[in-house]
Amino acid sequence: MAKFKIIVGDPKTGKSQSLEIEDARAVPLIGKRLGEVVDGSVVGMGGHRLQITGGSDKDGFPMRPNVHGGVRTGVLLSGGVGFHPSRKGERRRKTLRGNIITEEIVQINMKIVEEPKKVKKPKGKVKKKPKRTSEESGGEITEETAQTT
């Protein structure tokens, strides 16, 4: 069965967190494409909306958005995901993975697109409990009343 390592990045703070899901929890992600927005409850982050930004397969080949399907293929690249040229005009054939999540994918990168809406608390006065006097406490003098007298 499928087992994924999910890396969720937060663009606001610049921090990321790593999660692992497997078996029945991983099934909803199979068949999704790069760029799709999914509900965060799939990953265990209820209320969030997450966008799939990338990933890599079991052998480390990266997913590329413009390679269609879930296959591994050799593509002639001039730059972008999977190849960064060192000279101007350089092109190279590289092996990449398609843009659909399959069972061969091991790592999935996501980013937070929408956070859960926070419920505002009403701005009413909060009632405080009155302090007990020495008469209410059975005539005993407490520390509070002893200091004030």
Residue 111 lies in a domain: yes
Residue 38 lies in a domain: yes
Residue 48 lies in a domain: yes
Residue 42 lies in a domain: yes
Residue 24 lies in a domain: yes
Number of domains into which the chain is organized: 1
| Spatial separation of the C-alpha atoms in residues 18 and 4, rounded to whole Å | 10
Residue 129 lies in a domain: no
Residue 95 lies in domain: 3-119
pLDDT at 141: 52
Residue ranges of the chain with per-residue pLDDT less than 50: 145-146
CB 26 within 8 A of CB 3: yes
State CA 14 to chain mean position distance.
Answer: 12
Residue 148 lies in a domain: no
Residue 136 lies in a domain: no
CB 131 within 8 A of CB 144: yes
Strands 105-114 and 3-9: parallel
pLDDT at 126: 64
